[in-house]
Amino acid sequence: MSSSMHNIKKRNFTLSSALISTLLLTHIPHGLADDALIEQKIEHLEKEIVTLKSDVAKNNRKQKSIQTAFDEFKERLKINGFMSAGLAQSNRDRLYDGVGNDLTTLNLGKMGLQTNFRINSDTEAVVQMLGRARNNDWDLGAQWAYVSHLISSNFNIKVGRMRLRTFNRSADIDVSYAYPWVEPPNHAYYMLPFQNYDGIELEYLFESADWTYKMALYSGENHVTPGGSDLNNKDMIGYDFTASGEDLSLRLGVGRAHAEFAWDKYGIDIKPDAWFSSLGFNYDTGNWFITGEFTRRDVADPLVSDVNGGYLSAGKRFEHYLPYITVSRAKTTDNDERDGLLAEVFNVQETGYMLGVRRDLITGVAVKFQVEYLTNFGGSNGRFDTEFTSPHIDFDNATLWSLALDAVF
């Protein structure tokens, strides 16, 4: 903006000089100039200069107004981005979250862009677009698209598309740079095949002593098509409570929905109520961290499994390095209610042991490497693909490794 103003001033000055020179050289005869004519020309030129000065002043005011509006717009608009890319492979043919014994770059790739626009001091619009590699293709969609309004200093309301408050890492689950692992432990996180909902959320925040408390109520609905099925979640309602201290945070979440679930491939067409609950904690001193979570899904129909999941993870930071260890487990609790192909698909038992290390290269960029050993399938297929070449796995353990590069900008 300042450069443009300088150019305008320079151009106006040059125009003034050229005008004066032209009028003097063109209209005043050499050696025959009349004093009255000269004064008349000078008076005319002075008026032209006054007009030019007025134009310059107007341009300056206009440029200043534009600059002020532009600066205000920049203050109200914030744009952030994140991305991940990686490699993964296992020692088994049977696919596990899209990973088999062929090296793959899929399922770890994603890129997101988030825009926050402050409409006024109390109201903000948030949009987050995410492109994610899934099933040999990229999916692009809006993860967040909501308007938030601060009713009071403690009470906030959001309307639109938002993240479900289901896990410790729900808010940043797609921003892999934000956590130590390549991906959050799937034994706790896989049981919900969706992360978003369209609806309304009420949030209340208050402080007491050295703790900050946050309570949220939400309601809405969503529609997803996991694995070729069709799932409509209606009349969703949930509650989330978080207490955060200096090093420790605790969280409890409970949700319910009326589900309409159809999967033609398996002859499923049911409309049960479903509940989800989670309990988690995170303790981080800056050097050491330990975090854990217990999750549970209950579905009021035996065709879809009830399942418990959870993990415990710990690590220590050494300058730019963060080695960590994680133990996780998932197990369905109603296996006796299914048999045949439905049992092969929905019955799950699996334990995972994970070792990994994170290396922060520069601010905003980190590389991670981890190895996970899966075992204790308890006669089930674990979480391996049940539609490969045979209905049942023929091994009792598997090893997966992954390498990822994460960044925020």
Q: Where are the alpha helices (DSSP H) in 234-377?
A: 340-346
49's enclosing H/E stretch is helix 35-76
Q: Which two tokens stand for residue 233?
A: 């979640």
Strands 268-270, 248-263: pairing is: antiparallel
Q: Taking Cα atoms as reference points, which of 234, 156, 159, 147 lies closest to residue 194?
A: 234
The secondary structure of 189-238 as a DSSP string is: HTT-S--EEEEEEEEEEEEETTEEEEEEEEEEEEEE-GGG-EEEEEEEEE
Nearest-5° Cα angle at 399, 395 to 400: 130
For residue 366, how many C-alpha atoms fall within 13 Å in the half-sphere facing its CB?
A: 22
Q: Taking Cα atoms as reference points, which of 369, 268, 392 lies closest to residue 322?
A: 369
Predicted pLDDT of residue 54: 81
Q: Taking Cα atoms as reference points, which of 408, 392, 298 lies closest to residue 343?
A: 392
CA distance 28 to 350: 101
Q: Which two tokens stand for residue 226?
A: 């996991």
Please give the CATH topology (third level) of the domain spanning 78-408.
Answer: Porin (2.40.160)
Strands 397-408, 365-375: pairing is: antiparallel
Predicted pLDDT of residue 136: 64
Predicted pLDDT of residue 5: 45
For the chain, give every domain's residue range. 2-69, 78-408
Under 8 Å between Cβ of 378 and 349: yes
CA distance 336 to 374: 24
pTM of the model: 0.81
CA distance 326 to 314: 7
Nearest-5° Cα angle at 235, 231 to 239: 110
Work out the number of other CB atoms within 10 angstroms of the CB of residue 330: 25
Residue 19 DSSP label: H
Predicted pLDDT of residue 135: 64
CA distance 145 to 257: 21
The secondary structure of 62-117 as a DSSP string is: HHHHHHHHHHHHHHHEEEEEEEEEEEEEESSSS-BTTB-SS-B-TTS-EEEEEEEE
Q: Is the dihedral of CA 368, 373, 377, 378 positive or negative?
A: negative
Predicted pLDDT of residue 23: 47
Q: Identify the segments of the chain with pLDDT beneath 50.
A: 1-2, 4-5, 8-13, 15, 18-20, 23-28, 30, 32, 388-389
Predicted pLDDT of residue 235: 95
CA distance 164 to 217: 11
Predicted pLDDT of residue 386: 76
